Structure 1
Amino acid sequence: MSDLDQLRTDLLAAVDSAEGLDALDAVRVQALGKSGTVTGLLKTLGGMSPEQRQSEGPRIQGLREAVADAIATRRDALERAALDARLASETLDMTLPVDAVAAGGVHPVSQVMDELAEIFADLGFAVATGPEIEDDWHNFTALNIPETHPARAMHDTFYLAGDHERPMVLRTHTSPVQIRAMKAAGGTQPVRIIAPGRTYRSDSDATHTPMFHQVEGLVIDKGITLGHLKWTLETFLKAFFERDDIVLRLRPSYFPFTEPSAEVDVGYTVINGKRVIGGDPSQGEGGWMEVLGSGMVHRKVIAAGGYDPDQWQGFAFGCGIDRLAMLKYGMDDLRAFFDGDLRWLKHYGFGALDVPTLSGGVGA
């Protein structure tokens, strides 16, 4: 009995005096390991008589539990002390500036394309696409542009070299999508689409680039008039510029694929020396700015799309997406859209998570 009491005292003292986790683990192995002193005492229970096991077993088991509990308590104390020492030695200066995280942005052209899709979706238009490498039938002939038309000249159009069944070009406008959309409808269903995308012409200055973006709209149905065209454009421009005081002026013009044709001007006013879209120019300082080309679809174009021009009518319109972005967001040089200058994009671009949305829509 005195031997067990002395062993308990010695082991508990060794646990309390362990100054580190390694020293404490050594005490654990010495007492409770496979060859430990307490483990050895437990093994002797098998050779005792039932009376001896009944009296000695609880004492030895009690010794084992006391040592195990002491080791667990000491381990917690040592771990807390080690953490406190680490926290005391490791400091973080919260006054230092945080390194900026690189973030992408939405290009103004992409933003305007999203806005266009949103507006025209509310008006019942679908988005249609087509190839950027076109044959000259879709790009010119089907749109009533004869072989002698200046738009076919080499200085305007990029022609592709090689042997082809038809001459191939980089499309000069997104109007070929109109023909493809009509063909897909089979000449029996109404068509209401917009066709945004890249186009190509041999031109470059502050307001022109060899590659630029256009959006065209097409409506084919029965009983379509110029009144439908004017209302659609007025509703679109009010929603896009988010102003109810948009004033339009339609000027007679000429496009081979529409008849009659009209250039669409929008009124602007001058505020603090800058042109601002909106307001009636006749009521003060301001003027007119051309933003769109439009007209009633030519009979030959309707026929080329597979429709009977005696039964079906339609209107079409088109404008430069890059120009719309310049007008709405105050940019003055089209070439900067394609320079790849990150400083420009940071200034004019839109955060991926906080791009502006159209507050008014077209429901008003």
Structure 2
Amino acid sequence: MSGPNTNYDPVETTPLQVEALEQMVAEAKAAFAQAVTVADLKAARIAHTGDRSPLALANREIGALPPQARKEAGQRIGKARGEVNQALKVRDEEVRAAELQRVLVEERIDVSLPTEIQPRGAVHPITGLMDRMGEVFVAMGWEVAEGPEAEAEWVNFDALNIHPDHPARQMQDTLYLEPLETNTLLRTHTSPVQMRTMLDREVPIYIVCPGKVYRADELDATHVPVFHQIEGLCVDKGITFAHLRGTLEHLAKAMFGEVRTRMRPNYFPFTEPSAEVDLECFVCHGESVGNPDRPCRTCNSEGWIEWGGCGVVNPRVLRAAGIDPEVYSGFAFGMGIERTLMFRNDAADMRDMVEGDIRFSRSLMGGAR
């Protein structure tokens, strides 16, 4: 029986030759030296130390060698890999240090400059407009009054001369709170604040009442179930309709600039006589009236836009509050804040006012006239 054959040709495959391995190591070092960012170095690392790198492929050739030659070839491969990994480690430290220094320079923050920890918000246009309208009256010596939004039915309706059969008292318009026996509702206007003021204070009274009101309306471009009103009340000796007209003209000019107003006879249970207040159309200024060649969508070519209601306080309302109508008289008015905002800023859709988009608030408050 013959023994193992110890005579073999020690010629190795080309990738395992000393010159080839030295070339692989030199190429790897050159690639590492050229990398200037962490991302570049990562690509070089994968190319020269990954599973498909020249050294990894050369390592697979060891299996084709005779057993006696594998040890020496494995040592050469291991030495080459160690040299490459050491070069990679040194270059990685250099690249990371350089990149950190670059970031510190490029992204330097001047801590002495003013900054905003939180993004800037914006006052909602409704809130801002209520404040502005209130300031107009405060400047005239009036007071801003407030009241509860959940109101007693008597204060919201009966005390204001709105009889029990009035359509506004039906469930389809008014939101009543349970249990219904308490006769409590979400106020349908801010007039209850006026009544509460007359009940609680001595005359003379000069107040303006901004706030939320509630109606059973569908949400659409021109209606919202929760909206805002501002109402005013003046009760004193010798108050006439002329005082009312002058007050509203002053408010209109403060809100819209030089604009004409007019009053049309109307009916409200809590005022007598009563009127609707109209503004001259700020788009066509009346030029569209009777002119089919220049129609105006804003006023429907009528030349005027309805703004709100007003009138002399009904004597029955004064008596309900314990005020003698033979001695005192007064006037009251009210208009919608949303409607005023639409006039001032050309806002077309009321739904934009309730969606909470800060871009809407910034655009209106920044562009308010």
Bin the TM-score by the shorter chain: 0.5 to 0.7
RMSD: 3.0
What amino acid is the match of 1:262? Answer: A
| 2:226 alignment partner in structure 1 | 211
State whether residues 121 and 358 of structure 2, in contact with CA within 8 Å, keep that contact through their aligned partners in structure 1.
no
CA contact (8 A) 2:160 2:270 kept: yes
List aligned pairs for 1:111-126, cutoff 5 A. Answer: 111-126=128-143
Q: What letter matches 1:211 in structure 2? A: V
Distance 1:138 1:88, change over 3 A: closer
Higher relative contact order (CA 8 A, sep 6+): 1
Q: Evaluate the alpha carbon distance shift between residue 333 and residue 88 of structure 1 in structure 2; reply closer, same or farther with a 3 A threshold.
A: closer
Aligned to 2:17: none
Partner of 2:62: none
Q: CA deviation at 1:345?
A: 3.1
Verify the 8 A CA contact 1:198 1:211 in the aligned structure 2.
yes
2:260 maps to 1:247: yes
Structure 2: tracts of 5 or more residues without a match: 1-97, 110-114, 295-300
Are 2:312 and 1:296 aligned? yes
Q: Which amino acid aligns with 1:258?
A: T
The 8 Å contact of residues 136 and 251 in structure 2, kept in 1 or not, is answered as yes
Q: Among residues 172, 179, 193, which one is paired with 2:195 in the alignment?
A: 179
Alpha-carbon distance between aligned partners in 2 of 1:298 and 1:99, rounded to the nearest angstrom: 54
Aligned length: 257
Shift of 1:95: 11
1:103 aligns with 2:117: no
Q: Which runs of 5+ in 1 are unaligned?
A: 1-84, 359-364
Instruction: Kindly indicate whether the alpha-carbon contact (under 8 Å) linking 1:267 and 1:281 is maintained by their aligned counterparts in 2.
Output: no
Corresponding residue SS for 2:211: strand
Question: Structure 1: how far apart are the matches of 2:108 and 2:277?
Answer: 57
Conserved? CA contact 2:313–2:331, under 8 Å = yes
Q: What is the correspondence of 1:120-199 to structure 2 with a 5 Å cutoff? A: 120-162=137-179, 164=181, 166-186=182-202, 189-199=203-213
* Structure 1 residue 230: Cα displacement: 0.3
Task: Name the amino acid aligned to 1:153.
Answer: Q
Offset at residue 100 of structure 1 (A): 10
2:106 to 93, 116, 125: 93
Q: State whether structure 2 residue 350 is matched by structure 1 residue 334.
A: yes
Question: Does 1:305 find its partner at 2:321?
Answer: yes
8 Å CA contact retained: 1:247, 1:279: no
* Partner Cα separation in structure 1 for residue 309 and residue 101 of structure 2: 73
- What is the distance in 2 between the residues matched to 1:214 and 1:149? 21
Q: Are the counterparts in 2 of residues 269 and 280 from structure 1 also a CA contact under 8 Å?
A: no
3-state DSSP of counterpart to 2:273: strand
Q: Distance in 1 between matches of 2:287 and 2:137?
A: 25
Q: Which residue of structure 2 aligns with residue 7 of structure 1?
A: none
- On the 8 A contact 1:281/1:288 being kept in 2, the answer is no
Q: Which residue of structure 1 aligns with residue 281 of structure 2?
A: 268
Measured in 2, the distance between the counterparts of 1:237 and 1:324 equals 10
Aligned to 1:178, what secondary structure does the other structure show? helix
